[in-house]
Structure 1
Amino acid sequence: KITDEPPKGIRAGLKRSYAWVTQDQLESIDQKEWRQLLYVLCFMHSVLIERKKFGPLGWCVAYEFNHNDLVASSLFLYNYLYTDIKKGISWKTVQYMICEVQYGGRITDDFDKRLLNTYGEAWFSDNIFHKNWRFAEDYSVPDFKSVYAYRNFIDQLPVSDRLEVFGLLPAAEITHNQKSALDILSTILAVQPKETGKSGAQTPEQVVGGICADLLTKIGEGFKETTVKDLIRLQGPQPLTIFLRQELNRMQHVI
């Protein structure tokens, strides 16, 4: 059995996001605010997904953020900036729609919602347009007119994520690394052949086969469908008879 998992980390997440972003998408609004906001959105999307690897230290509840959240949020930003760019950006509106509606719609825990809103307040503001602003060390907000320039920029980001980006302490990384090591060791042990103490002892497969054979002898014959239907029909169309017929059909399928 082989599993295929996408690469982990903020850089890998941004690469997946910008494999989806097209040149036409960047040029759809000829304003640097649009291009930089789109990058910030993709960056936050990667951070929200990567926090899950820290377990309860990342999120109180493990949420399944996915590409659809990114698409919906980017569509909102596009529509909002396309119609109101000359009026300026209402950051409260942007923060609410992204953190309360798009991504926040999945969140059920109050502390997780507070965390998401903190990201929104920090990363969706006028500060991101300042030249020297950073998410954290080595994580700036670029402004390119070419999607290929963005992809090249992302390739230069650190392979290992800095905890400052997540706002976590070093203990979170230690816990994550310990869990990853245990998972690897457990997987290695799981694929090892099972040894038996005695040469005549049964293998796990033989034990399961014996149990299945024993159960088959205890299962009775299936119901005679026509006979059962006739008996139920005599009782009339009552809720209990309808329920009984449904249960018998399910049991017949199991047998």
Structure 2
Amino acid sequence: MRRVRKSEQDFPWWLLTLVGIGSYLFWRVLSDDLYAQVLQTLSKGIGITLFVTIIGFGMAASLGLLLALAAGSRLLVIRQVARFYIEVVRGVPIIVLLLYVAFALAPALVELWNWIAAQLGLNPVRNRDFSLLWRAIIALTIAYSAFLAEVFRAGLAAVDQGQIEAAEALGLNRWHRFRFVIFPQAFRVILPPLGNDFVAMVKDSSLVSVLGVADITQLGKVTAAGNFRYFETYNVVALVYLTMTITLSLGLRKLETRMRRGHER
């Protein structure tokens, strides 16, 4: 039996297959008026999808880092509060959390603001002033912050204790130790799972369509309901998401390789 060479094993046949399918679908989009019309309609939702993903992930990463630091705090109360938040949020499906934030938490926040505004003589706000887009972003932020907290916690724990002790011996305070010693080393560890979660949020951002937010999925549903061409419409929806996620995955993989080579040098 012929031994398969490593170069043959590593060749990305899956990517070549996807490129072939994608090229065919792009050809259909360019040559078929229906596909082109569907793509033109969906293109209006790409900006919303990217906005929800980038803003939501940025806020989730910031909150997740704070939760990871809180989970490692010396104070018992802070550690327990952080663990309570992480475990509760991770145990709730994202779509349930999305509906809860949109229709339970957001109205409660509006009522709280109106009570504070009444005490301070400020103008009250209405529930409809709190846009569904930002309710969706807040829900995704809460959901992903719990998962990212575990990613950050694992990365921070992977830093060698000797490095921290050496930095402390040099007279660096806690912030400088974290800024110049701990986080740069932890970042190389957490980059792959962080990138995976970012790609996952691109896909999970489609859940905001249940609130009527005009993202790619919502516009696809509206288009299919209007033209009754579900096969063609959802082909284009899948193509758009695949193009975004595969491009991001390949870009992140290249970044990881470059960082690994830079570290080895």
Is this a same-fold pair by TM over 0.5? no
**Higher-RCO chain (CA-CA 8 Å, sequence separation at least 6):** 2
Greater Rg by CA:
1
Pairwise TM-score range, normalised by the shorter structure: under 0.3
TM-score by length of 1: 0.24
TM-score w.r.t. structure 2 length?
A: 0.23
